[in-house]
Amino acid sequence: MKKVLSINLLLFLAIFLFECKPKKDKDPDEDPATVFDKQAMLTNYADNLIMPSYNSFKVSLDSLINVYDAFKISGSLIDLQVVKQKFQTAYIKYQRCDLFEFGPAETHIIRSSLNVFPTDSVQINSNIALGTYNLSVIANLDAKGFPALEFLFYGNGASENSILGLFSNTNRKQYVSDLLTEMSTKINSVVSSWSSSYRNTFINSLNTDVGSSIGFLVNQLNFQLDYLKNAKIGIPLGKKSLGVAVPTSCEAYYTAYSVSYAKETLNLIENAYLGRSVSGSNGKGFDDYLAHLDAKYNGGSLNDAINTQFAIAKTKLSAVPDPLSTQVTANAAVVDAAYVELVKLLVLLKTDMPSSLGVVITYQDGDGD
């Protein structure tokens, strides 16, 4: 009996000592004393970047609708010029919230409804001529949204007086109204969802798995960079057409603001990485998360490497003047230099950052980068 008691006592002491032994390999992000405040980060994103961006876009779109309604009545050149000014403002404001295509925005397919380019001018003119159309069908994805409005307000090198004359067509006036109504309905639904319930859902999703808020943000941040690299720069440059430039595939082809919008997109991606608010204030973001995890890249800080590459990419993109449709043929080397730096940035954000955060990239870009 004494021998059994002695053995039990030894076993008890061994278990006790094992449990009390410090766990040197414990993940620091799981230690309550050093845990990264993910909820604070997500709250910063929701309250200082995402919701203000959507609200600002909504205000600009509402303003565009109001001035267009006035133009429909007056038919004056001055009112058309005001419409074009408001259009440009709204399009820029859209560029500043395009990244957040998850939750309500994904439900209402905002990106596919508002910014499929190049637009299909033949389909647009056919819809106007018929006077009947269903904007929800796939055939009209590239005949609506901002690119369609741009074609209708600016035309392909047409004078303002020529455009003004085209708006004597009642069907044309109504088509623009229908496009604006669909855009407004969708963005109002997104803003309403964020304000009512989705904000709480978003800031309380604290994991990094598929379907989490952090997972959504990381995926959309990278999707947007892929979108910038490919659709906004690479395709016009000829990266998908054996080196043959395709100027007409540029975003904002008719207004020649392609590079300006590309810069807005890169700024938004950087803001999303840094947790920078719409007012420019630095908040808790992925840079802080990576620093907390002490994520490394080539022996140094991954966060430092990403910030450095952002600066390089922005410098190279800023060296490309508008219109991009001209630059892809007349100044292709400068455009390509910007493209190359965007690829380097994408590798850091799409491979190294998700690996450090435990996030799986789930979207498909289709080009293997």
Confidence of residue 24 (pLDDT cuts 50, 70, 90): very low
Task: Using alpha carbons, list the distances in angstroms from residue 346 to 108, 269, 328, 341.
Answer: 27, 11, 21, 9
Closest by alpha carbon to 225, among 308, 344, 335?
Answer: 344
Residue 15 has what pLDDT? Answer: 42
Task: Using alpha carbons, list the distances in angstroms from residue 33 to 21, 28, 36, 205.
Answer: 18, 9, 9, 21
Phi, psi of 140 (to 5 degrees): -105, 10
In percent, the amount of the chain with pLDDT more than 90 equals 88
| Rounded Cα–Cα distance for residues 11 and 17 (Å) | 10
pLDDT digits (tens, 9 = 90+) for 47-72: 999 999 999 999 999 999 999 999 99
In sequence order, the β-bridge partners of residue 300 are 297
The domain limits of the chain are 36-204, 207-369
For residue 29, pLDDT over 90 is answered with: no
Confidence of residue 323 (pLDDT cuts 50, 70, 90): very high
Tokens representing residue 110 in the block: 């905002």
Asked if domains 36-204 and 207-369 share a fold, the reply is yes
**Contact call for residues 226 and 368 (beta carbons, < 8 A):** no
Indicate the burial class of 73 (C-beta count within 10 angstroms; 0-12, 13-18, 19 or more): exposed
Specify the fold of 36-204.
A middle domain of Talin 1 (1.20.1420)
In sequence order, the β-bridge partners of residue 360 are none
pLDDT digits (tens, 9 = 90+) for 128-141: 999 999 999 999 99
What is 207-369's CATH number?
1.20.1420.20
| Rounded Cα–Cα distance for residues 27 and 35 (Å) | 10
Task: Using alpha carbons, list the distances in angstroms from residue 210 to 66, 216, 334.
Answer: 41, 8, 38
For residue 144, pLDDT over 90 is answered with: yes
pLDDT digits (tens, 9 = 90+) for 44-53: 999 999 999 9
pLDDT digits (tens, 9 = 90+) for 188-246: 999 999 999 999 999 999 999 999 999 999 999 999 999 999 999 999 999 999 999 99
Residue 27 has what pLDDT? Answer: 47
Residue 31 has what pLDDT? Answer: 54
Residue 364 has what pLDDT? Answer: 74
For residue 10, pLDDT over 70 is answered with: no
For residue 11, pLDDT over 70 is answered with: no
**Contact call for residues 39 and 203 (beta carbons, < 8 A):** yes
Q: What share of the chain is helix, strand, coil (3-state, %, to 5)?
A: 70, 0, 30
Reported pTM: 0.90
Residue position matching structure tokens 């604290």: 206
Residue 363 has what pLDDT? Answer: 87
